[in-house]
């Protein structure tokens, strides 16, 4: 992996607690996570929660999913 022709495709996962390496074979060459279902999904969910909490007025409590 490190000495072959694909060595320039080796990337570190952008997941906060992930230490995996992966080969970025995406068309644009900008893949960030080793696996979209684990690290990518956690990162996307975390960013969504941050955006939602930032858009609430000060002191407001977000609605519970069970309030529907």
Angle ∠(22,23,28) on CA atoms, nearest 5: 120
Residue 38: DSSP 8-state: I
- Of residues 3 and 34, more confidence is placed in 34
pTM value surpassing 0.85: no
The pLDDT-based confidence of 15 (bands split at 50, 70, 90) is confident
Residue range 21-45: mean pLDDT, rounded? 89
Residue 64: predicted pLDDT: 62
């Amino acid at each position: 992996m490190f000495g072959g022709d694909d060595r320039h495709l080796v990337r570190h996962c952008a997941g906060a607690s992930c230490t995996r390496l992966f080969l970025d074979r995406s068309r644009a060459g900008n893949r960030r996570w080793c696996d979209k279902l684990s690290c990518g999904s956690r990162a996307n969910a975390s960013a969504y929660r941050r955006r939602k909490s930032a858009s609430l007025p000060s002191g407001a409590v977000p609605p519970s999913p069970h309030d529907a």
